[in-house]
Amino acid sequence: MPIYEYRCGQCEKHFDATQSVHARAEDTECPHCHAQSATRLLSACTTQVKGTHKTGFAEMKAYNMLDERMDKFAKLPPLMGKRAAPDMTEPSDPSTGGTTEN
């Protein structure tokens, strides 16, 4: 569960509250004066650190997946080359070389 930072509108004290995403600011009770007039502050540090770390990790994973795919593609051409090799010999067969004027 995320930690939200609040500022009490009554005593103007700051406090943290661990609550669900659906919790509303007006339902949050101040632990100091128990007034329900707190306003949620965007705790920039926690969300930003989490965000950058996540995207960085996702990018790393994406690059790894790309490398893996490139590796698989690199292994494909030899297989196709093997299949193409027998076809290459057929046109050069001398018995089907057309008419000979002798």
Binding of Zn ion by 11 (CB under 5 A): yes
Binding of Zn ion by 33 (CB under 5 A): yes
The site for Zn ion, by CB under 5 A, has a size of 7
14: Cβ–Cβ under 8 A, 6 or more apart, which residues? 5, 6, 7, 8, 41
Q: What SS3 state is found at 100? A: coil
Site string for Zn ion, 37-76 (x = CB under 5 A): ----------------------------------------
Task: Evaluate whether 42 touches 29 at the Cβ level (below 8 Å).
Answer: no
Cα–Cα distance for residue pair 13/96, rounded to 1 Å: 96
Enter the tokens of residue 65: 């997946």
Binding of Zn ion by 30 (CB under 5 A): yes
Binding of Zn ion by 25 (CB under 5 A): no
- What is the contact surface with Zn ion in residues (CB under 5 A)? 8, 10-11, 30, 32-33, 35
